[in-house]
Amino acid sequence: MSDRSTPRAPELAQAEPQDERLRSALLRLVTGGPEQQAIEAGEIDAIIDYSHNKVILFPGAQEATQHEATHESAHGRVANDLLAALTLAEYQQLTPSLEPVTLASDAVLLEPGEPIRFVYFPIDCVVSLLATPKGRRTVEVGLVGFEGMVGTSLALGVNVSSLRARVHVGGTAFRVPQVRFTELLRQSPTLRREIDLYIYAELTAARQTAVCSTFHLIEQRVASRLLMTSARVRSDRFYVTQESLAGVLGVRRESISQGAGGLQSRRLISYHRGNLRILNRRGLEAASCHCYHQLGLKR
């Protein structure tokens, strides 16, 4: 990743000036705020500095990327599976169009009936795809993390969203303008193939979601859902509110409270003010409806 001949967006800064910028970025954080708490818990590897269009890596992440650079090809492993599948030439074509963005929880990326202006390749955020039936609660029909992308209908020639895409767990992603993405699809057979396979996986997951929401108990569904989210944020700890869980599972907040409470009383998870931690993964898997097996990733 440190190969300077490869155009990257954003450019990774050299170590020394980066350390200085990291210090000044940390000083700007609110004392005791969620960002500072996440840093102290070791849950953050980098900060995006929009004023300089740079990613500022923490020392541990700097070491990791330097280590990777000595062992891997110039484009190395990128943080999104679809992008990682590209050839070096295709990746170099794409990199100038990849804009790093930080997405806050509950941010809406797509709305039904509205044009798709950007596609998103999540790195460590989780995005929920929601159907929005009139007069009813929203219900999740898909979940997107680093294994996929948001805005797949563009690949099918449809540039208006049929779904709401809302950030379920905040984090980072790359976004690409719609026009550029459409061009790249024409130019890159690898990207085309990977996205076709991903769309098939999305359809399969949507079918399984329908089965899950119809036949499985809320506590089982909450357990499955937490395992799926954990896999996508690559951590046993993440922040998710009861409202957000209720929104994606299409149930009342009280049902989430009941389901999560059951898991908590069995010491499978701890959950306080949105801060969730998986305490017993095997136990949580046993308590789930196992739909997370059919819904993509598992950790």
User: Contact region for Zn ion (CB under 5 A) — 22-30, 36-44, 124-132, 288-296?
Assistant: 288-296
Min dist CB 129 to Zn ion, Å, is 17
Question: Between 263 and 289, whose beta carbon lies closer to Zn ion?
Answer: 289
User: Contact region for Zn ion (CB under 5 A) — 28-36, 165-173, 249-257, 284-292?
Assistant: 284-292
- Asked if 164 and 132 count as a contact pair (C-beta separation under 8 A), the reply is yes
- Which residue reads 């969620």 in tokens? 34
Question: Between 8 and 232, whose beta carbon lies closer to Zn ion?
Answer: 232
Question: Between 95 and 288, whose beta carbon lies closer to Zn ion?
Answer: 288
Span 60-89, contacts to Zn ion by CB under 5 A = none
Residue 293 interacting with Zn ion (CB under 5 A): no
Coil/strand/helix, residue 158: coil
Among 86, 291, 295, 297, binds Zn ion (CB under 5 A): 291
Max Cα separation, the chain?
A: 56
- Asked if 155 and 185 count as a contact pair (C-beta separation under 8 A), the reply is yes
CA-to-CA distance for 218 and 215, rounded, in angstroms? 10
Min dist CB 212 to Zn ion, Å, is 3
| Both tokens assigned to 126 | 């989780």
Number of residues that bind Zn ion (CB under 5 A): 4
Residue 212 interacting with Zn ion (CB under 5 A): yes
Residue 216 interacting with Zn ion (CB under 5 A): yes
The closest of 56, 59, 77, 81 to 68, measured between CA atoms, is 77
Provide φ and ψ at 51, rounded to 5°.
-65, -25
CA-to-CA distance for 269 and 281, rounded, in angstroms? 9
Question: Between 78 and 205, whose beta carbon lies closer to Zn ion?
Answer: 205
Q: Which residues bind Zn ion (CB under 5 A)?
A: 212, 216, 289, 291
